């Protein structure tokens, strides 16, 4: 029988008012994901400067983007095993230091195709850690009633701002100082890394799973100082918080198998579309008659509308969580059809409209998929679940720019690129909506298991 002083720490977290702790956490996560988004998208603005000097074919140019994503794939999958076993905080800080070191190295030592790709691959190892752990932090700390919206304001806002920032640096700074300026600017993440190391706490659910109750009490007191006296001397219910020895096996267990496989397929297709489009959009738009500044600006526009689209979708999902797959499917379907329409219609204003819709729908839906994935797993498998989703998705992200380059190389036109990207988003819509029937059971089961 539970002690009278035993507390359900999940309830303490999910029912907490949004206070100063949550706001500080949101600012930190926003800044981390800003540099993540910036570093992820800035290779698109390198292609224009190095294609001729380095003698690159379009497929090779696409690999300039994909090389970093190969590292991201390894980092995203590996971080789940590390952070679920050893803690979120250490894995996140380690990822930030890796990004700092190799971002500076890219600016100083990337003098040809192979050195650039190698340094981007190593940078990607760190980048692969940041986004899934930030999503896990938000999911484990934000009050449940605002979980998706909080995730959007933290993770998605930062990532979108980073993508916009990369576009602005590409337009205004690289013409003056060359493409290495992108990476010197990216090195500004160093002070942030020090701030994170000094102030970021460990995840409370990880602390509970590992029975580190003194640290858990201290952290809960920071989150809800009005209940500090209640936490002193209390014990915490930890049923359902056991640590998995093999997270991948857990993700493919009968209870999760269909959810995991469907999410992985959807993430693969979604990120194929996103990175195929964002990686080539400056170059493709110049082929469609846009100016240099306008073409580079399209990348910033897509990131700006992605946050708006993701926030709108998050509000709908928070109001009706069981309908999450249906709403996600609608977003991807609209975005995919919009991209396909560029095959038949052109013109400056139409280009602006389609890029805005693609960002709003396709990238916006990916932002919400991150939190939907985190909500679909219990604590012991959550970081692994998000990491595997982003890791498998990064296979699509790797192939997106590379396949887009191959298609242009083979046909001499961007038309097949729009077909491939648009159809991938449409198929993603049909994939995720297949989870609609079990969505209520999936999410509610996880919540119930963690509240026992």
CATH superfamily label, 6-451 = MFS general substrate transporter like domains (1.20.1250.20)
Q: For position 5, what pLDDT does the model report?
A: 63
Q: Residue 64 belongs to what H/E stretch? A: helix 58-86
- Residue 388: is it exposed, middle or buried by C-beta count within 10 angstroms (0-12/13-18/19+)? buried
Q: What would the pLDDT profile of 402-427 be if each residue is shown by its tens digit?
A: 888 888 888 878 788 889 999 999 99
User: Residue 2 pLDDT more than 50?
Assistant: no
Query: For residue range 123-149, what is the model confidence (pLDDT) as tens digits?
Result: 999 988 888 788 777 777 777 666 667
Contact 379, 206 (CB under 8 A): yes
Kindly state the percentage of the chain with pLDDT values over 90: 30
- Taking the domains of the chain in order of start, what are their residue ranges? 6-451
- Structure tokens given for 430: 């049909």
Rounded CA gap, 46 and 115, in Å? 14
Rounded mean pLDDT of 299-303? 83
The residues near 421 (Cβ < 8 Å, ≥ 6 apart) are: 272, 273, 276, 277, 336, 339, 400, 404
Who's near 27: CB < 8 A, 6+ residues apart? none
Mean pLDDT of 432-448: 58
More confident of the two residues 413 and 91? 91
pTM of the model: 0.72
pLDDT tens for residues 145-183? 666 677 777 777 888 888 888 888 988 899 999 999 999
* Interval 21-72: pLDDT, tens: 888 888 898 999 999 889 888 887 898 899 889 998 877 887 887 788 888 8
Nearest to 73 by CA among 118, 144, 127, 133: 127
User: What is the arithmetic mean of pLDDT over 185-193?
Assistant: 93
In this prediction, residue 242 carries a pLDDT of: 47
pLDDT of res. 247: 67
CA distance 52 to 15: 57
CA distance 125 to 73: 8
Q: What is the distance of C-alpha 437 from the center of its chain?
A: 26
Interval 421-445 mean pLDDT: 77
Q: Which two tokens stand for residue 371?
A: 């939190």
Q: pLDDT-derived band of residue 393, with 50, 70 and 90 as boundaries?
A: confident
Residue 339 has pLDDT above 70, yes or no: yes
What percentage of the chain has pLDDT greater than the value 70?
Answer: 90
Return the number of other C-beta atoms located less than 10 Å from residue 224's C-beta.
Answer: 18
- Give the separation between CA 98 and CA 81, rounded to whole angstroms: 18
Q: Give CB contacts under 8 A, 24+ apart, made by 46-49.
A: 46/116, 46/179, 46/182, 47/282, 47/283, 48/282, 48/283, 48/292, 49/174, 49/178, 49/179
Number of helices followed by number of strands (H, E) in the chain: 23, 2
Tell me what pLDDT residue 451 has.
38
């Amino acid at each position: 029988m539970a002690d009278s002083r035993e507390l359900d720490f999940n309830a303490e977290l999910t029912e907490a008012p949004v206070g100063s702790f949550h706001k500080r956490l949101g600012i930190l996560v926003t800044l981390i994901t800003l540099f993540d988004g910036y570093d992820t998208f800035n290779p698109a603005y390198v292609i224009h400067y190095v294609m001729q000097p380095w003698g690159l074919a379009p497929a090779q140019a696409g690999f300039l983007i994909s090389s970093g994503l190969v590292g991201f794939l390894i980092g995203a999958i590996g971080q789940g095993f590390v952070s679920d076993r050893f803690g979120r905080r250490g894995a996140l800080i380690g990822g930030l230091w890796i990004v700092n070191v190799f971002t500076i190295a890219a600016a100083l030592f990337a003098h040809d195709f192979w050195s650039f790709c190698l340094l981007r691959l190593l940078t990607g190892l760190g980048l692969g850690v940041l986004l899934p752990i930030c999503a896990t932090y938000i999911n484990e700390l934000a009050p449940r009633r605002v979980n998706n919206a909080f995730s959007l304001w933290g993770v998605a806002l930062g990532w979108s701002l980073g993508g916009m920032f990369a576009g602005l640096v590409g337009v205004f700074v690289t013409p003056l100082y060359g493409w290495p300026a992108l990476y010197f600017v990216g090195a500004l993440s160093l002070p942030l890394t020090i701030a994170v190391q000094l102030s970021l706490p460990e995840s409370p659910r990880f602390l509970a799973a590992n029975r580190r109750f003194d640290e858990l009490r201290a952290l809960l007191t920071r989150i809800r100082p009005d209940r500090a006296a209640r936490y002193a001397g209390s014990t915490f219910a930890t049923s359902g918080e056991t640590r998995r020895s093999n997270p991948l096996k857990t993700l493919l267990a009968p209870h999760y198998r269909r959810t995991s496989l469907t999410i992985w397929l959807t993430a693969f297709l979604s990120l194929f579309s996103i990175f195929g489009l964002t990686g080539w959009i400056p170059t493709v738009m110049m082929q469609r008659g846009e100016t240099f500044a306008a073409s580079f600006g399209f990348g910033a526009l897509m990131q700006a509308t992605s946050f708006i689209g993701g926030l709108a979708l998050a509000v709908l999902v928070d109001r009706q969580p069981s309908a999450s797959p249906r709403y996600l499917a609608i977003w991807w379907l609209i975005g995919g059809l919009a991209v396909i329409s560029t095959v038949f219609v052109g013109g400056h204003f139409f280009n602006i409209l389609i890029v805005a819709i693609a960002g709003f729908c396709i990238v916006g839906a990916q932002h919400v998929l991150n939190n939907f994935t985190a909500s679909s797993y219990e604590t012991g498998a959550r970081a692994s679940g998000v990491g595997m989703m982003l890791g498998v998705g990064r296979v699509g992200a790797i192939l997106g720019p590379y396949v887009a380059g191959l298609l242009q190389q083979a046909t001499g036109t961007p038309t097949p690129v729009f077909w491939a990207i648009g159809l991938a988003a449409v198929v993603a819509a049909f994939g995720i909506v297949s989870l609609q029937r079990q969505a209520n059971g999936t999410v509610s089961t996880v919540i119930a298991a963690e509240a026992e």
